Structure formats: structure tokens, C-alpha cells
Structure 1
């Protein structure tokens, strides 16, 4: 694990912006079933590419959901394209233009999304100009990217605003802050424990139906069995974990657990960045307002941290590291160590 500060990355931002690459994007699909947008720098030379996987629920390729637009992933894709990196952002199965591929809810599994991610990685590799492929996952998409990276070779892995703890731990933490009636809280814990054992529950109180409805329980069981840090430990490519200090959904412990999972993982903390990757005020209402503000820019330094991580992999591939080098040095630009 290595933690780095963002200061040097911010110093690079003005130079990168001044030399922005021209680019274009086009719609792509997998057999007319799954759909996405490929943004690629203009020209004929080989380029690196990133597959961007969105977070949980009905979040589309741009980072938007039915109750609001923030365009976080769309803006990120465009900023990476300006830095010479191709990106593929996708509508996952059952969302956006991929709505027609939706299975019945009781048939959906976390592995369904992983299978699709692997297909998209193969698609990117088939593009003539693509040189290396990195998997980028945001929120729950970070776990999916990690599992996909175990099944299909990638050059690197980026986890944005990701959980470092199993999903049941997060659910317990979130429910603890909702002041549930004692009886409902106790029943929630019983249901959680049953799902952790892989067993569905028929009797769900109306107050908990949105979270534990019978049709979604098979998906929850498939999700609950994964520990994000343990899954990251099973990968062996350079990995970058990026976390914001004003993320209302993930805590500092999540980034710490992920970055400590194995050697070769770099943790970058971006001050004032929230869960949708934008600069947020201290108050919760102002933070949440950014979830539905497509005009707000991304947090400064985010795209530069990603571009620098990918560029470093390119440099290391051209110039093999000495035999004595530490694997913990994979990813990120050397900078003052965060305390």
C-alpha cells in the first residue's frame, strides 16, 4: 500500500488542460443487447482505454439515475478523452438503452453484471487502436470491476468511491442511523443474517420491503458473499483507490481497507470530493444537491490522478523496473506521503 497526496497531480492539471487532445465519441453495442458510448482521441496512433462501470441500482452510463442527473461519469469520460485516454461507459443490463436485456429481478445476480463487464472488456480489446485496457469501477461498480479483473486480464484497476467492507456491514451501518423501531430493527438483523447464510426470507415487514423484497433477495445473496478487500487481494495488477473526504456513503476506513489489501495498491484522497465525484460543501443538504446537478464539475485532480496512473503503467511497460524494486510502487505519481 502507498498513500499519496494530490498536490503534485494538481500542478499537472494546467499543463494537461492547455494541451487537451481532440476526441470524438460513438454509440456501440454488444449484439444489439447491451449499449454504451465509446469516447476515443482523434488520430491513428494506439491509445489506452478504460471501461467505466457505474454504481448500484438503475444508474446509467453517465452516472445518472431516475430521480436525477449529475453526469459524473460522462464528465469523467470526456476529461479522460481530453487527456488522450479512450473510455467506454455502458448502460448495464436493465438500465438506459440496455433496458431490453433486463432479466426478471429474481433471476439477477452480481455475476450477471460481471459476465457483461467481461464481454465489454473483450469488446474494447477488439478495437483496432486500443493498446491497454484499465477497468474503472464507481461505488458498487468497483467490486464488479475487481471481480471482472480476476476473470479477464486488464492492465490496471481503479476503484472510485468504493466500499472496502462487505455489503451487510454497510447496510447495518446505514440502518443504524435511521432510528428504526426496535421490532423492525431486530427483524432486519434476522433477515440480514439469513441472507448472509444464503437463505431467502418470505416474511418481510412492509417497512423493509424496498430493501429486502423477496424478488431482490437472490441478488443480495450473490452480492453479500463478496468482501471487496479480499477480492482485491486476489488480483495482481496495479490498482488505484480514490476516495473523497466528503463522501456520505463511504468512510475513510473503506479506502484504508482496500489500499491495505495487498501490495501494489495506491490510495489517493481528494479533499472535499463527495460520492458523485464533485466538490461538496460541509452540510449534508448541499452535498446531496450535487447528486442532481449535471453542471457541477468534477473535483479538481480526479481526472489527473487517473491519467497519471495510466501513464505510469505505460512508462513502466516500456522500461522494466529493476529487480530490487518494490511491488508497492505500482501506480501513481511519487508525491509527499499523506499523514
Structure 2
């Protein structure tokens, strides 16, 4: 959510290829014409597996957690760690990848609800197989809210990783206040217009990544969801995770979610940033981690999730 250039993507079909590692098999699984991803299956299976479905954050983010110019392998490394711990994982590309590949991407037609429907389709695909002991939805950043809504009535458990605890307009306004306070008043006015369900003509091109005409409909569909309201609807085991070195989503956001759902587990991981990497130094090190796919993710992250899944 750093620049909030709202673009989104996905794909999935029945053809598959396999790649065997020491502890798990990785294969490509297609859910439908828009949704394609990787299924990590532990090699040793003594009983029905637990499955975690990973949902990526905002922007053109793929199954591995990467965007063009921002390769960190966050979701790939998490999926591998969980599979090594005996948990099956499915992580998928956002629908925009399939739309771009087919030449049918129309950003102005994208809706936040499209991604909720995609997550529901993935959940249902694996539920229909009747081979998993439990299905847990785990969303990262924007994907946390998508997963939160999709999991309601459809999944056995839910995990928020760096998920916002406030509507996106409040999060964006806070980010603008920190990064470009001189734009706050204008951004606030624009967000209020979108919150009322109305588009507008953008005059200030400095704000094009946020408010260009083609993305305004998506913003309108996103703003209407309040994470604190949505999490209260969940009647399933819930785990909330945030890192104290996250410069995009604050620890306070996770705490707000926990206050809205008191029986949710809350874990704040020391030195973990937004893309799950351990940061011991300054902001420069933190930002550099976004483009370092070889930097390991926090061991504590996979350990906390594994313990949670095994308790289901």
C-alpha cells in the first residue's frame, strides 16, 4: 500500500506441472480463467492436510508477493516455510495478470468486490475437493481485508498479516500526512468525494497514482469496507499478526482489529517489516528489503502460523 497505485491481478487452470523439493511438491493449479497459482503440498501426509490460502496485497502483486521492480519473495518464502512444517499452501496471482496476458485489462472496471469473489472462488475450489482437514484464509495487507470478507461463512479460520484496522481512506490520509503534509487537505477532500460514491476530475497530477480517473471506481468500492465491522462478523478462529518494523501498516491497526474481535489472537513480531523480513537497522535497510528476494523472512512468522493451524 506504499504508493497506492491501485492495479490488481490473477489466474488458475487444471493443467499442472510439478517441482519436488526435499519436503514438499509445488504444482501450478488453475481455479478458473482468471486465477492461477502454486499449490505447495507436503510430501509426508499421515492424515488429512490443513490448507492455507494466501491472498496478496495491493497493486499488481503475484503469487510470490512480488511486483515489477519490487521482488522480495515474501509470499513464496512463507508458503515454503509452512509447507516444510507440514501445511499445504495455495498462493495465487491476482486477476490482473490474466487480464493483461489476454489484453483485456480495463482498470476502470475493476472493483474491490472482484477480488473478494476471486478469493471465494479459490476457497470453494479447494472445499469441493473434500481432501483438507481445514481451510484457512491468510491475507496480507489489502489482501487481509479481502480475505476477511471472503472467509466469512466459507473458511474454517482466518489470518490477517499486516492488515489495516481502519477504512482505506483513513489509512491513506495518515500516510499522506506523514509523507506530504501539504497535500493533506486536497487528499481529504478527494477521499470524501469518493466516500460519497462520486468520481471527480483530477486537477493535481501529483496525485494521479491515487486518484486517476480509471482507479476512482475501485477506490469507491474499497472505501465502503471497514475492517473493524467486517472482522466482527467472523465466527471462526482468528489470528492477527503485525511487525513492529512495518512502515506501511502500524501495530495500532492490528490492535484495533483485536479490540473489535476480542477472542482473536494477536501477535506483534519484533523487528519484522511489511514484507516479513527481519530488520535490525534503519529505514534504509527496511526499504532495501522490499527488493531483496534472497533475504529470509521472520522465522517467528511461520512458527506462529504453524502453531495456530495445528490447533484447529
TM-score, with length taken from structure 1: 0.82
Match of 1:154 in 2: 155
Where in structure 1 do 4 or more consecutive aligned residues deviate above 6 Å?
none
State the distance in 1 between where 2:143 and 2:103 align. Answer: 18
Alpha-carbon deviation of 1:76? 0.5
Alpha-carbon deviation of 1:102? 5.6
Distance 1:99 1:234, change over 3 A: farther
State the distance in 1 between where 2:150 and 2:104 align. Answer: 20
Distance 1:102 1:49, change over 3 A: farther
Structure 1 gap segments, 5+ residues each: 1-19, 314-339
Match of 1:176 in 2: 177
Is the aligned partner of 1:230 residue 2:229?
Answer: yes
SS at match of 1:131: strand
Distance 1:297 1:203, change over 3 A: closer
Match of 2:16 in 1: none
Is the aligned partner of 1:260 residue 2:259?
Answer: yes
Alpha-carbon deviation of 1:233? 0.8
Alpha-carbon deviation of 1:186? 2.9
Q: How does 1:231-246 map to 2 (within 5 A)?
A: 231-246=230-245
Match of 1:37 in 2: 38
Alpha-carbon deviation of 1:303? 0.5
Match of 1:126 in 2: 128
Alpha-carbon deviation of 1:187? 2.5
Rg larger for: 1
Structure 2 gap segments, 5+ residues each: 1-20
Distance 1:43 1:272, change over 3 A: closer
| CA contact 2:160–2:239 (8 Å) conserved in 1 | yes
State the distance in 2 between where 1:117 and 1:99 align. Answer: 20
Query: Structure 1 residues 74-83 or 119-128, which shifts more?
Result: 119-128
Aligned length: 291
Is the aligned partner of 1:59 residue 2:65?
Answer: no
TM-score, with length taken from structure 2: 0.88
Distance 1:232 1:252, change over 3 A: same
| CA contact 2:120–2:154 (8 Å) conserved in 1 | no
Alpha-carbon deviation of 1:180? 4.9
Match of 2:187 in 1: 188
| CA contact 2:99–2:105 (8 Å) conserved in 1 | no
Match of 2:77 in 1: 75
| CA contact 1:108–1:219 (8 Å) conserved in 2 | yes
Q: How does 1:306-321 map to 2 (within 5 A)?
A: 306-313=305-312
| CA contact 1:21–1:84 (8 Å) conserved in 2 | no
Alpha-carbon deviation of 1:103? 4.1
